[in-house]
Amino acid sequence: MSAKIYSLQNGAEGLFIKNERFNTTSVSFNFYLPLSADTAAEYALLPFMLTTCGEEYPDFSVLNYKLSRLYGASLDASAEKLGDYQLLRIRISVIDDKYTFENESLLSRAADMLLSLIFKPKAENGAFCEDDLNREKRKAIEHIKGEISEKRIYAKNRLIEEMYKGKAYGVPKCGTVEEVEKITGESLYTAWENMLKKAFIRVQVIGSSLPSRFFETIAERLGGISRAEITDCKLNEPTAPIEKPNEITERMAVKQGKLVMGFSSDMYGDDDVSLPLMVMTDIFGGGPYSKLFSNVREKMSLCYYCSASTVRGKGLITVDSGVEAENAEKAQREILNQLDSVKKGEFTDFEYEASLKSIRDSLNSYNDSQVTLDTWYALKANNKTLYSPEEIGEKISAITREDIINAAKGVRLHTVYRLLPKEEK
């Protein structure tokens, strides 16, 4: 497997990952924009709006028919949070041309469809059609309400909201219900225009071959757009430590309490500087060999689940646990004790080696699917150097116990969020 970057227009690039192990070819458009409360809901709606209809595909039945004519090509969309930025993704996957009858050029046709959907949406007089808009708004609102109903997700979102009040990373990736409801056909059309004008754009192709003049055609499309104020998605504001940790407790009609803890870290940034933080977080609260799993959950039975994760670009670590209300404070104390033990280097060779192996195995799994491999590279656009999963695996192998201890020493408690059952009257 090899990766090659092509420069397209100002603020846009193509990435071809040559990989012959798959029977399909994946093409994705990735738009990177600043995450802002003013625009999050509209931007998040765009990928879904653009993949259900277009000027040449006026409704989903026509679009679905065209996909079926491409040997059942699949089309999907998503909106993600990447540090202080919003990542809008539109992707199509089609079987490789060598598997078609008479070697039909399905990839070129699929790419043309994707370009049409993105650059020629179904709109009239500078506005998206009301019926299409209302359908997608309803789906977006259902998604947001679904995350509120899922209390594990809700609790973690509330922690992030409290930790990053007034900052980009505190903005929900899909906006709020109220913000979605305010979207009009005109405002969404303006958001679409701004996306094409201001987003950093990466077009990724994963497959055995690249169609003739593929990236040149995209560059020509972008050349007709006046692009300015291009987003620089490499700029992330690190999580600043605070002197006294915040503590927030909310009560709802829940049976199981949620304890979520957020930590700042002195180590942050891209892969060249923050990989020790990944290993440290895994030893602290990753797999079944970790401190949180083996001690807080198994030995002490203080949590139903207890794990740690990191957003290295932000220098953020979160611990996510489900607890009984009466165990919340005990669990919090013990989680901090386990962090202290990592800071002191009190982890065994088994825990250290198991963590390195687990991370390397996870990295190897990215090559098992075009979807996960495409996501890997899309999430690395803010890295100064583009590393493959295999290259990161090699870097992980070189991380020492001292690197992990140093990473742990820079971790400080920032905010504690508890979601507990209502008190009985």
Task: Please give the Cα distance from 372 to 385 (Å, whole number).
Answer: 19
Question: Would you say 19 and 27 are in contact if contact means Cβ atoms under 8 Å apart?
Answer: no
Whether 103 shows a pLDDT value over 70: the answer reads no
* Distance, CA of 182 to CA of 165 (rounded, Å): 22
Alpha helices by DSSP H, 176-223:
177-181, 185-198, 214-223
H helix or E strand, kind and range, residue 156 = helix 151-163
Q: What is the pLDDT of residue 336?
A: 98
pLDDT of residue 1: 64
Predicted pLDDT of residue 31: 98
233 closest CA partner among 270, 188, 280, 271: 270
Give me the pLDDT at residue 378, please. Answer: 96
What would the mean pLDDT of 146-153 be, rounded to a whole number? 94
Give how far Cα 87 sits from Cα of 32, 40, 137, 261, 341, Å: 5, 10, 19, 25, 37
Domains of the chain with CATH codes: 2-223 (3.30.830.10), 246-421 (3.30.830.10)
Amino acid at 272: D
Average pLDDT, integer, range 195-211: 92
- Rounded Cα distance between 121 and 51, Å, is 9
Give the tokens for residue 33.
């924009």
Long-range contacts of residues 369-374, Cβ cutoff 8 Å, at least 24 apart: 370/19, 370/22, 370/24, 370/26, 370/93, 370/206, 370/207, 371/26, 371/93, 373/17, 373/19, 373/206, 374/26, 374/28, 374/91, 374/204, 374/206
CA distance 8 to 222: 8
Nearest to 383 by CA among 267, 272, 247, 227: 272
Q: Check whether 20 has a pLDDT greater than 90.
A: no
**Does residue 384 or residue 100 have the better pLDDT?**
384
pTM of the model: 0.95
CA separation for the pair 166, 66 (Å, rounded): 44
Q: Distances in Å between the alpha carbon of 398 and those of 51, 279, 356, 392, 408?
A: 43, 11, 9, 10, 17
Q: What are phi and psi of 116, to 5 degrees?
A: -65, -45
**CA distances to 30, 48, 73 from 136, in Å:** 20, 7, 22
Q: How far apart are CA 244 and CA 69, in angstroms?
A: 61
Cβ-based neighbours of 184, under 8 Å, separated by 6 or more:
127, 133
212 pLDDT more than 80: no
CB atoms within 10 A of CB 353: 11
d(CA 309, CA 247): 20
Separation of CA 170 from chain center? 14
The overall average pLDDT reported for the chain is 94
Cα Rg of the chain (Å, integer): 23
**Banded pLDDT at 424 (limits 50, 70, 90):** low
Per residue in 226-281, pLDDT (tens digit) is 888 899 988 899 999 999 999 999 999 999 999 999 999 999 999 999 999 999 99
3-state helix, strand, coil in the chain (%, to 5): 45, 25, 30
Q: pLDDT digits over 350-370, tens only?
A: 999 999 999 999 999 998 999
Q: What is the pLDDT of residue 425?
A: 57
pLDDT at 2 over 90: no
Residue 64 CB contacts under 8 Å (≥ 6 apart), including other chains: none
What pLDDT, in 10s, does the model give residues 47-96? Answer: 999 999 999 999 989 999 999 988 889 999 999 999 999 999 999 999 98
Residue 84 CA to residue 214 CA, distance in Å, equals 31
Is 90 exceeded by the pLDDT of residue 133?
Answer: yes
Identify the bridge partners of residue 92 per DSSP, sorted by sequence position: 27, 75
Categorize the per-residue pLDDT at 102 as very low, low, confident or very high, splitting at 50, 70 and 90.
low
Q: Percent of the chain at pLDDT above 70?
A: 99
Please say if the pLDDT value at position 112 is more than 60: yes
Lowest mean pLDDT among 197-201, 219-223, 262-266: 219-223
Strand boundaries in 115-256, DSSP class E: 123-124, 127-128, 200-207, 246-252
Task: Provide, rounded to the nearest whole percent, the portion of the chain with pLDDT above 90.
Answer: 82
